[in-house]
Chains A and B, each alone.
Chain A
C-alpha cells in the first residue's frame, strides 16, 4: 500500500520546526510502524534528505524508548500497544498519517521526533526506590506477601516510563507515571517505611520539572501502552493525603 506521511521535522532544540510531507511507497501490512519509517528513511537518504530521527530500541514494547504521536494519539490508534508494536495492517492504502513528537513543556524536543525525558529520571531519583543497600537483606521468603498485593504491585510496576500519559494529557501531567511507582511500593510491605517521604518528594519533583496538574480527564489511561489504571492516581492521592496529615 501507499501512504502519505506528514512528519514533524526540527533540526534541534532551538529550531522552530515544521511538518513535512513524504510518501511511503509499497508498504507491506506485515511491517511494523517503525519498519515503515525505516523504509521511508532509506528512501530519503537515497534522495539526499536527512533521515527522520526517532527514538527506538527494543522494538518489542518494553523499553519505553519509542515515542510517536500518530494522528494525534500517543503510540497511535491501538489500545495497549506501543508504536513499535503497531503493525501496518491497521492502516490502509491511501491513508494520511500525521507523526509528531511528545509535546510537553517538561519534554523538550531534541530533534524531529526525539524528546528529552530525563525529567522522569529525576522524579525517580527523588523517591522511586526503597532505601536499602546491597547485601544483608533477609531471606526472600521471610516476608510472605499476599498474592493480591503482589499482583497489584505488579500491575503498577508494569509502567515502561515512556511518557505517553504526559503527551496525552491536556495539562501535560505526569500523574499516571508517578502514581504507578508510588502505588507499586505502597502495595508492598517493603515500601512502608518511606511511604510518606516517597509520595511527597516525587510529587514535589514532578511540579519542579514543569509537569501540569491532574484534572481527571483520564486521557493518560487511554494512551498508556501498558494499561496502567487511573485507579492508581486515586491511590496516590490517598497516599499524599495521608502523608500531609502525618506531617507534624
Chain B
C-alpha cells in the first residue's frame, strides 16, 4: 500500500487556500442527511463536534467522563501559541511554522505544520469571541509570554489554567449545540471498537459505563479525538483514564499507527515520591521563564539548597545552552536533568530531581509579581510536597507528558481507513519527533475548529451517505466480540489487579523505551512485554459483573490494549536507529551528548500496519519531503 499524504500542490503558503477551494462542498440543504460520530470531547473533539453541528451535520459525541468538560485538555496549564505578532517582536506565520518544524527535529510534514501556523491566529479570535478570559495587560489588550523553544512572545494564556479556559470555551459551544438538539452527547460511554464495512468506517461499539450495556452507533464518518497514550508508562502527567483503546482498536481494524515511539518527556514535573504513586503532576513549563534550574556541582552533596553557595551550583542549562538557557526545548532539558541525576548530583530524598529556583526572580521582580504569574502553581506544589517554593527551591524531574505519535492521517486528517478521521493528540500529524510547548492546544483547536469542518464536507460530498445501519451483521459481530472480551476479563479468576499489570508494564517501558533508548534495552522490552501479557490473560482478577458500574473492568480493558500497543512502540523505537527530537537512541549522540539524526536513512514517517497479537507489525514509510526549509542540525546553543 502506498501512503498518500494528499498534500495539495503549489507554494507552501497557498496550499491550504487552494485546497479549500478545490474541495467539494455539501449543499446546505443536504447537510442534515450526514451523521458524524465524534469520540472525545477535549479541545479537538469538543471543537469539532460543535463546529460540525453548527454547519448542520448531525453529530453524536462520546466521552468516558461524566461530562464533556472534564476531558484531559482541561489540565493544560501554560498556554497556546499563535502567530499574531501582537508583541511586534518579529513573529510571523512562517516563523511559527519554522520553529515547529525545527522543534520537531525535521520529522513532520511541511504542509500540515504550515497550515497549523496559518490558522493559529483564527483560534485566538475564536476563543476571545467565546468569552475565554485570556490574560490582558493594563491597556486591555491580550498579553503574551514566551515558551520553551521560541525566542518570540507568542503564547496566550489564562493564568495557569489555559487548557481549562480553552476547553470550557469549546464546551460552551458544544453545550449550545446540545441544547439546540444538534449534538447528542453520550457521557460515561467508552468506545471499545470500530466497525468497518466494505473498507469504510461505519460506526463504533461502546459500553455504557454505568449500566454495562454494549451498543452500536452508525454514522457516515467516525472522528477519533481521544487524546494521547502517555499512560503506557503508567506514571505520566495524563489523567488516570487516558488510554490508547480507541486508537489501538482502530489500528486493529486497519488504521496505520505512525511514529508510536515519539513520546515526549516533560522536564518540569514533581518527582516520584513512592511506589503507591498513581500519577505525576506537571509544573508548567512557563515556570522556566523565571526559574533557574541547577544541581550542586559536587556529587552526593547533602546540604540543603540555601547552604550551597553560588559558585558551587551548576546552572547546567545556562552553561550548556547560553542563548536559550533555561528555555531550551523539552527533550534537551529532560535529558540534561537525567544526566545530572545519573551523575550522582540529583537532589531531594530520592536524589532523582533537580532544583528549579525562583530566588533571583523574586529578588528582581518581587514576590507579588511572581505570585501573580505562578501563584496557583506554587500552591499546587506546596499542597503536594508540603514545601513552600517561595522560600525553598522546587524539585522537579522529567515525566511522560505528551505523545507525538498517533494514528497516521493524510492532509485531510483522514486515516488509512476511509471515513475514519483522527484529530488532536490522537493523530501524529504536526509535531514530528518533538512538540514545542503551547502547540498541542493550538493543534487540537486547529484540527477541530478549522480543518475538519472543511475536509469532512469534502469526504461526504465525494463518498455520499453510508447505507450501513447498526442492523448490519458486522455491528452484531463486533458487539459480540466486545461482550466476549468483557466476559473473559471477568472469568479469568486469577490473583492480580489490572493496576498491578499496568505498573509492571510502565516500569519496563520507562526503563527501556523512555528518555534514553538503546538496542539491547528495546530488545529486552520486546521479550518482556509478551510475558506480562501472558500473565495478564491467565492471572487477572476482576471482581463484579459486566452489567454494572465496574471500574476494575474498565481498567482491565485499557491495560489489555496498552499491553499490545507497548510492543509496537518498542518495535518502532528499535527500527528508528537514529536519534531525533524526543527519540533518543543512546547509540547516536555527539561527543557533547546531543541527538544525532540520520536524514539519509530515516527521513520518513513510520506507519505500522497491524499484523496480529505478538507479531511485528508491518512497516510502511511515508517519505518526508522538505521543499521549503533546509534540514539543519538543531542547535539551541
* CA–CA, A101 and B477, complex, Å: 39
Question: Using Cβ atoms and an 8 Å threshold, which residues of chain B touch A30?
Answer: 273-274
State whether A141 touches B142 (Cβ < 8 A).
yes
Q: Within B434-467, which residues are at the interface with A (CB < 8 Å)? A: 449-450, 453
Query: A-facing mask of B491-535, CB < 8 A → 1, else 0?
Result: 000010101100000000000000000000000000000000000
Partner of B131, one of A55, A64, A133, A190: A190
State whether B549 touches A57 (Cβ < 8 A).
no
Question: Using Cβ atoms and an 8 Å threshold, which residues of chain B touch A34?
Answer: 278
Residue B240 CB within 8 A of the other chain: yes
Residue B141 CB within 8 A of the other chain: yes
Q: Within B154-208, which residues are at the interface with A (CB < 8 Å)? A: 158-159, 161, 164-165, 168, 171-173, 175-176, 178-179, 185, 187
Interface stretch among A147-155, A208-216, A229-237?
Answer: A147-155
Per the CB 8 Å criterion, the residue count for chain B at the interface is 81
Question: Using Cβ atoms and an 8 Å threshold, which residues of chain B touch A191?
Answer: 131
Q: Within A54-78, which residues are at the interface with B (CB < 8 Å)? A: 55-65, 78
B188 CB to nearest A CB, Å: 9
Question: Using Cβ atoms and an 8 Å threshold, which residues of chain A touch B185?
Answer: 121
State whether A85 touches B380 (Cβ < 8 A).
yes
Residue B539 CB within 8 A of the other chain: no
Q: Within A143-172, which residues are at the interface with B (CB < 8 Å)? A: 143-147, 150-151, 153-154, 157-158, 160-161
Question: Using Cβ atoms and an 8 Å threshold, which residues of chain B touch A128?
Answer: 172, 175
Given A125-B175, A128-B175, A135-B126, A141 and B141 contact (CB-CB distance below 8 Å): yes
Residue B620 CB within 8 A of the other chain: no
State whether A111 touches B173 (Cβ < 8 A).
no
Question: Using Cβ atoms and an 8 Å threshold, which residues of chain A touch B384?
Answer: 32, 85, 87
Question: Using Cβ atoms and an 8 Å threshold, which residues of chain A touch B239?
Answer: 57-59, 63
Closest to A111 in B: B549
Query: B-facing mask of A88-131, CB < 8 A → 1, else 0?
Result: 01000000000000000000001100101110110011101111
Residue A184 CB within 8 A of the other chain: yes
State whether B129 touches A157 (Cβ < 8 A).
no
Per the CB 8 Å criterion, the residue count for chain A at the interface is 78
Residue B109 CB within 8 A of the other chain: no
* CA–CA, A180 and B136, complex, Å: 20
Chain B CB count within 10 A is highest, among A49, A86, A111, for: A111
* CA–CA, A120 and B10, complex, Å: 49
Closest to B181 in A: A125
Question: Using Cβ atoms and an 8 Å threshold, which residues of chain A touch B159?
Answer: 154, 158
State whether B72 touches A121 (Cβ < 8 A).
no
Partner of A147, one of B140, B176, B499: B140
Question: Using Cβ atoms and an 8 Å threshold, which residues of chain A touch B75?
Answer: 58, 60, 62-63
State whether B380 touches A140 (Cβ < 8 A).
no
Question: Using Cβ atoms and an 8 Å threshold, which residues of chain B touch A28?
Answer: 273-274, 276
State whether A153 touches B131 (Cβ < 8 A).
yes
Chain B CB count within 10 A is highest, among A55, A60, A65, A146, for: A60
Question: Using Cβ atoms and an 8 Å threshold, which residues of chain B touch A129?
Answer: 130, 172-173, 175-176
Closest to B281 in A: A60
Chain B CB count within 10 A is highest, among A49, A114, A121, A153, for: A121
Partner of A153, one of B129, B133, B383, B551: B133
**CB within 8 Å of A: which residues of B?**
47, 50-51, 54, 65-70, 72, 74-75, 84, 86, 122, 124-131, 133-142, 158-159, 161, 164-165, 168, 171-173, 175-176, 178-179, 185, 187, 210, 239-241, 273-274, 276-279, 281-282, 379-380, 383-384, 386, 449-450, 453, 495, 497, 499-500, 541, 543-544, 548-552
**CB within 8 Å of B: which residues of A?**
11-12, 28, 30-32, 34-35, 38-39, 42, 45-46, 48-51, 53, 55-65, 78, 80-81, 85-87, 89, 110-111, 114, 116-118, 120-121, 124-126, 128-135, 137-141, 143-147, 150-151, 153-154, 157-158, 160-161, 184-185, 188, 190-191
- Extra 5 A-B pairs, beta carbons < 8 Å, given A124-B175, A134-B50, A185-B131: A121-B178, A134-B51, A147-B140, A150-B133, A190-B131
Q: Can you show 14 pairs from A to B with CB atoms below 8 A apart?
A: A11-B548, A50-B544, A57-B72, A62-B161, A85-B383, A87-B386, A111-B548, A120-B67, A125-B178, A134-B50, A137-B122, A144-B141, A161-B70, A190-B130
